[in-house]
Structure 1
Amino acid sequence: MLQQLLHVLEPESLGDDRYLGQNMHPKGFRIYGGQVLAQAVSAAQQTVADDRAIHSQHAYFLRQGNCSKPVHYEVERARDGGSFSSRRVVALQDEKPILVSSMSFQLPDDSFDYQPEMPADLIPPEELPSERQRALENDALNEDFMITDGEDLDVRMGVPINWREPQQIPGRLYNWMKTTGPVSDDPAVHRTLLTYFSDTMLLDAGLIQHGRSYRDRGLQVASLDHAIWYHADCRADEWLLHTADLERNSGGRTLVRGRFYTREGHHVATVMQQGLMRQK
C-alpha cells in the first residue's frame, strides 16, 4: 500500500507541463483532498530546479473529485526569479477545474530562526492505538476510503473520537502520523507526503466543538480552501505531531489552524484550512 501511495503521489508527465494523476482509492465516494494537493505540489516541483524547495501552497477546492477518473494537472510557470519560483496549478476532471493552487519555491536561506514550543504533556505515539486498529476493533473500516486507517499510514489520535456518537469537546485535537515503512531520502518526496497528511483532522476540530459529525446527513461539510507554509525539511517516515486548533466557526464556515512538529519538537509546517460547515 505504501508503494502504491508513493506511485500515486508522482503524477505522470504528459509533456508541455501537463501531468496525469491516478487515484489512491478508485472506489471511494470522492477523491481525498490531500491527494490532489500533494499531486499538484509534485507536478509543480517537476518544473522547478531541484535546489528550490516549496515554502507555501494556497489552494481552493472547487468541485468534488470523481475517484473513478484520473486527474489532469496543468502547470503555469508564472515566474522564476533570483531566489523564488512561482507556479500556478489547475487540477481538472472532464475539462473542469476541481482545484486551483498557487505555490512558491525558494532557494535555501538561514537568515533568522524562531519557532513556538511544541505542546507539552501529550501522549506519545507508542501509548496510543492506531486508527486502523481502532477501526478494525469497532467494525468501522471503509476499504474504499482508507485515509487515516489504511495500511500505508500509521495515524494515532491523541483525542480519539467515535464519529458515530460524537461527544462535544473543545476544538483542539492532535495526532501522530508517519508512513508505515521507510521512504527514500529525497526531501521533495517527504514534502509531498506532508502535503498529503495535511488535509486530515482539520474540519474535525470545527465539528467536535459542537458535538457534530461529518456523518450527519443534516450537515454540509467540505473543504473550501487550504494553505500550507513549509518551514523546514522533515521525514514523513518518522513520527510527526499534527495539531489542529479551531480558530472560528461563523457564516456556515469553520477555520482551523494546524501545525506539524517532529518528535524532537522542530516546527516544520503550518496549515490553515477553511471548510463549509452548515445546516442543509
Structure 2
Amino acid sequence: MVEILPAAPAVSLRGVNLTLPPEDFDPLADLLDVLDLTPHAVDADVYEGRSQPQAHGRVYGGQVVAQSVVAAGRTVGELDGPPRHLHSLHGYFLRPGDPAQSIRYEVERLRDGSSFSARRVHAIQSDRPILSMIFSFQTDSDGIDHQTFMPAVPDPETLRSDAEDLATLGHPVGDYIARTRPIDLRHCQGHLYAHPRRQTASEQSVWLRADGTIPTDDALIHAAVLAYASDYNLLEGALRRHGLAWSDRRIRAASLDHAMWFHRPTRADEWVLYTQASPSSQGGRALGLGHMFSEDGTLVATVAQEGMLRLKQ
C-alpha cells in the first residue's frame, strides 16, 4: 500500500526508526537488488529475498508481488521452446510482513501446456504465508486487437515529482520517502500526502517510471517493476471521493488483494500513465481499478485491487 504520512513531525512512525540512507544511495539499484532473488541451495523452486525498510514498519505489498513475479518467472524461463511472458496475476495479501526478516518464495508448477504456463507462489515468513498468488504466462500469439483510449492529461515533464514536494514538507517521513522511493510519481491532480484536494472526484491519473535506467531488456524484470509500482496509490480515488488525505491520523489502510493483466510489453523506466478510479467503497473496504498506458497511448496493463480502508474514530 501507499505510505501514510502522519500529521505531526516525528523521528519515527509507529516505533520505526527513520534513518535516512547516505546521499549516494540509489533507490532503483536497491530495488533491482531486492528483485535478484537467491535460489534455494537444494529446492530449485524455492527462492529467498530481502525487504526494503518502510516508514510504516511493514513490508510494502508491491515489493512482495514483484518478488513473486520474479520467482514464478524464473521457473517458466527455463522451459524449452518460445519464451512465455507474464500476462496475469491474481492474489491475496494474508498477513503483514516484517521488513527485518527475509521472505521465502515457494513456487508450485501448476501446469505447462503447449502455450500457457500457470504457477502458484506462496511468500512465507515465520513459516506462515503473507501472500498467495497465481500467475499465468503465455507464448506470443496472434489474435484480434483493440484497446481503450488514454485520456488527455498534462505531460509528465510539466508536473512536479512527488519526491520534490515531499522533500519540501519539512517532515522526516516525507524526507525518508523522497530519498528511498525507486519510482518517480507525478500526480496530475495533485498528491494527497499532506492535505485533501478541493475536487472530490473518485478518479485520478499518475505518471510513473523507474527513477533511473533499468540496465536490462528482460521483460520479466520490467513487468516486476510495473507490478511493484502498481500498489502505491490505486486506492487514492476513494480518498479523493471523501475529501481525505494520507495525513489524516484516522486512516487505517492495507491491501487485501491484487490482480494485474499485462496486455502489451513496455519498459518500466519510460513514462507510464496510471489512470485510476474507485467505483465503490463500503464495509471498511475500497475498490480501485486502473489502466496503465505507455506515453504513446498504448494500453500496457490493467490493475484491480480491494483494500481495507477504515477511519478510526
- Measured against the shorter chain, the TM-score band is over 0.9
> What do residues 13-43 of structure 1 show as CA deviations (whole Å, max 9, x unaligned)?
1142111111122675111110000000100
- Structure 2 alignment gaps of length 5 or more: 1-25
Which amino acid counterpart does residue 49 of structure 1 have in structure 2? G
Name the counterpart of 1:195. 227
Inter-partner Cα distance in structure 2 for 1:110 and 1:48 = 21
Paired AA for residue 153 in structure 1 = I
2:102 to 43, 62, 70: 70
8 A contact 1:132–1:141 mirrored in 2:
no
Report deviation, 1:98: 0.7
1:20 and 2:52 aligned: no
Distance 2:159 2:52 in 1: 26
Output the TM-score relative to the length of structure 2. 0.84
Give 1 or 2 for the bigger CA radius of gyration: 2
Matched ranges for 1:5-44 at <5 A: 5-14=31-40, 15-16=42-43, 17-25=45-53, 29-44=57-72
Give the one of 79, 82, 97 matched to 2:114.
82
Q: Distance in 1 between matches of 2:189 and 2:172?
A: 19
Q: Which consecutive aligned stretches of 4+ in structure 1 deviate over 4 angstroms post-superposition?
A: none
Instruction: Please state whether the residue corresponding to 1:34 is helix, strand or coil.
Output: helix
Larger RCO (CA under 8 A, 6+ residues apart): 2
Give the counterpart letter for 1:43 in structure 2.
A
Aligned to 2:255: 223
Structure 1 residue 60: Cα displacement? 0.4
Query: Does the Cα contact within 8 Å between 1:25 and 1:144 map onto a contact in 2?
Result: no
Contact 2:192–2:246 (8 Å) recurs in 1:
no
Query: Can you give the 5+ residue segments of structure 1 that lack an aligned partner in the other structure?
Result: none
> CA 1:220–1:137 in 2, change beyond 3 Å: closer, same or farther?
closer
Other-structure match for 2:189 = 159
Structure-1 separation of matches of 2:277 and 2:247: 21
Tell me how far apart the structure 2 counterparts of residues 277 and 151 of structure 1 sit (CA, whole Å).
Answer: 23
Query: How far has the Cα of 1:219 moved from its partner?
Result: 3.4
Work out which of the residue numbers 257, 261, 264 in structure 1 matches 2:296.
264
Amino acid at match of 1:128: L
Q: Percent identity?
A: 40
TM-score normalised according to structure 1 size: 0.93
- In 1, are the aligned partners of 2:195 and 2:246 still within 8 Å (CA)? no
Q: Which amino acid aligns with 2:170?
A: D
- The change in CA–CA distance for 1:243 and 1:87 in structure 2 (over 3 A counts) is same
Note if 1:91 corresponds to 2:123: yes
- Label 1:259 to 1:137 Cα distance change in 2 as closer, same or farther (>3 A): same
C-alpha contact 1:26 1:144 (8 A) present in aligned 2:
no
Distance 1:68 1:40 in 2: 18
1:101 Cα deviation after fit? 0.3
Confirm whether residue 238 of structure 1 aligns to residue 253 of structure 2. Answer: no
Q: Distance in 1 between matches of 2:298 and 2:272?
A: 10
Distance 1:208 1:240, change over 3 A: same
CA contact (8 A) 1:29 1:145 kept: no
How far apart, in 2, do the equivalents of 1:45 and 1:201 lie?
A: 25
* Match in the other structure for 1:139: 170
Q: Relative to structure 2, which stretch is displaced further, 27-36 or 252-261?
A: 27-36
- Structure-2 separation of matches of 1:145 and 1:255: 28
The more displaced of 254-263 and 3-12 is 3-12
Q: Distance in 2 between matches of 1:64 and 1:172?
A: 28
Q: CA deviation at 1:151?
A: 5.5
- Partner of 1:178 in structure 2? 209
Instruction: Determine helix, strand or coil for the equivalent of 2:77.
Output: coil
Alpha-carbon spacing, 1:258–1:43, altered in 2? closer, same or farther (3 Å): same
For 1:237 and 1:257, the matched residues in 2 are separated by 22
CA distance in 2, matches of 1:179, 1:254: 27
Aligned AA for 1:4? D
Which amino acid counterpart does residue 60 of structure 2 have in structure 1? Y
User: Does the C-alpha gap of structure 1 residues 144 and 137 become closer, same or farther in structure 2, counting only changes over 3 Å?
Assistant: closer
Amino acid at match of 1:134: D
CA separation in 2, counterparts of 1:212 and 1:96?
Answer: 34
Note if contact 2:266-2:294 (Cα within 8 Å) is conserved in structure 1: yes
Q: Distance in 2 between matches of 1:141 and 1:109?
A: 49
Distance 2:223 2:310 in 1: 32
Task: Count how many residue pairs are aligned between Structure 1 and Structure 2.
Answer: 278
